[in-house]
Amino acid sequence: MKTDLPPEAYAAALASFPHMSIHRLGALLRHHPPDEAYAIASGEHRPAGLIERVLADPDICAAWRRAGRSSLLDEVWDRCNRLGVRVLLHGATDYPHLLVNDPLPPPVLFAEGDLSLLEGRRAGIVGTRNATAAGRDTATTLGRQLADAGVHVVSGLARGIDGCVHRGALRSDGAGRPIAVVASGHDVIYPREHRVLWASVAECGLLLSECAPGTAPEAYRFPMRNRVIAALSEVVIVVESRQQGGSLITVNEAIERNVPLMAVPGGVHNRAATGTNQLIRDGAGMVVDVTDVLIELAMDHRRSSGATIDSRPRPSGADLTVYETCAGEPRTIDGLALACSLSLVDAAMAVARLERSGWIQQSDGWFEAVGSPLR
């Protein structure tokens, strides 16, 4: 056994063992120092207690022995150093105190960025990956305005709402920063199109993961990731979610941890809002704008208020009717022509003007109102 490696190196290598769940890693590290735990897992020391039962499984035993014999230990530690990823052990002094007393604390946490952000005010924002244009807009605005107010925004860097929240927070000039909890290794960027966003969050904010560098984003890791988001947030806000969305896992974790829950309401016909509307019916706080969140966080909300100037030219005449019809629910051009009693050509002209001035947006032939509503 090598002696020149710090204990974190052993913990990081253990985290990247095959079949290594949070529970098994926790059992190993709770009772043994990391180097000893590593020796037990790779079969060099006799196991005891709970872990003896895990190692009784021949598959796991063989896989761990193989991993222990390989050069995993050096490789993972090298990667962490190269990427500038810090390894935080449960029980160590630099481990985030927020997670110390969690019902299921991450035994090892990989961090890149500014850990002191966890001392600040934090709001978690989650939602569906398949968001509507309006939902993405809300998420971006909320992320930016919370960051303006100095609140750090916790989310998961996934497609859809998550990505928009981080993007919004990065766009702000305020003190708030993005905090992302991801379900893969720091160097395994998922989804791929968030490459730039991923790097900027690590640089300007904080990027956390329970997975060692090089770990692939397997499906079972996402629910575990959601529990960390819930644990790090003072309030969890759901922007858009279906009846059975992944965001509702975060909601359950938040309920278990007594984290207040809020949701952004959506149209009755909007399937992407059925989950959030249900949450509100069940008693979650309602978020219409950022003030609602700031009140929940008991912060002075006057700073963020004030008249915002909409630079878009105000629609008038037929355009106004068309805009208001779209604002109710997404419409097709047929639907618009019928609802506003316009000819197809007139409706086409109206949406062309509205799209040009940024009031509505088209996707797959459907028109949605975007941006702050017309006042």
**Contact in structure between 67 and 58 (CB atoms under 8 Å):** no
Q: Please report where in the chains the tokens 């397997």 appear, as a residue.
A: 218
Q: Please report where in the chains the tokens 């006799």 appear, as a residue.
A: 46
- Tokens for 331, please give them: 């419409």
CA atoms 169, 110, 263, 176: torsion sign: negative
- What distances in angstroms separate CA 79 from CA 53, 183, 213, one per listed residue? 31, 17, 7
- Tokens for 63, please give them: 């896989």
Q: What is the smallest separation between the CB atom of 137 and other proteins, expressed in angstroms?
A: 12
The SS3 of residue 284 is: coil
Q: Catalog residues that contact other proteins under the rule CB under 8 A.
A: 129-133, 135, 159-160, 191, 193, 240, 242, 269-273, 329-330, 332-335, 337-338, 344-346, 348-349, 351-352, 356, 362-366, 368
Q: What is the smallest separation between the CB atom of 177 and other proteins, expressed in angstroms?
A: 24
CB nearer to other proteins: pick between 321 and 332: 332
**For helices 318-328 and 344-356, angle between their N-to-C axes, nearest 10 degrees:** 80
Q: Please report where in the chains the tokens 């769940």 appear, as a residue.
A: 21
Beta strands, E only, the chain: 86-89, 108-113, 122-126, 152-155, 178-182, 206-209, 235-238, 261-263, 285-286, 360-363, 366-369
Q: Please report where in the chains the tokens 């007594």 appear, as a residue.
A: 258
Q: What is the smallest separation between the CB atom of 173 and other proteins, expressed in angstroms?
A: 26
**Contact in structure between 145 and 174 (CB atoms under 8 Å):** no
Q: Give phi and psi for 360, each to the nearest 5.
A: -130, 165
As a whole number of angstroms, the distance between CA 141 and CA 372 comes to 9
Strands 86-89, 108-113: pairing is: antiparallel
- Tokens for 163, please give them: 């990505």
Q: What is the smallest separation between the CB atom of 368 and other proteins, expressed in angstroms?
A: 6
CB nearer to other proteins: pick between 256 and 346: 346
Q: What is the smallest separation between the CB atom of 109 and other proteins, expressed in angstroms?
A: 28
Q: What is the smallest separation between the CB atom of 365 and other proteins, expressed in angstroms?
A: 2
Start-to-end CA distance of the chain, whole Å, equals 70
Q: What is the smallest separation between the CB atom of 247 and other proteins, expressed in angstroms?
A: 14
Q: Please report where in the chains the tokens 């120092």 appear, as a residue.
A: 33
CB nearer to other proteins: pick between 58 and 317: 317
CB nearer to other proteins: pick between 42 and 184: 184
Q: What is the smallest separation between the CB atom of 180 and other proteins, expressed in angstroms?
A: 18
CB nearer to other proteins: pick between 298 and 345: 345
Q: What is the smallest separation between the CB atom of 240 and other proteins, expressed in angstroms?
A: 7
The SS3 of residue 94 is: coil
CB nearer to other proteins: pick between 29 and 139: 139
Q: How many CB atoms lie within 10 A of CB 174?
A: 16
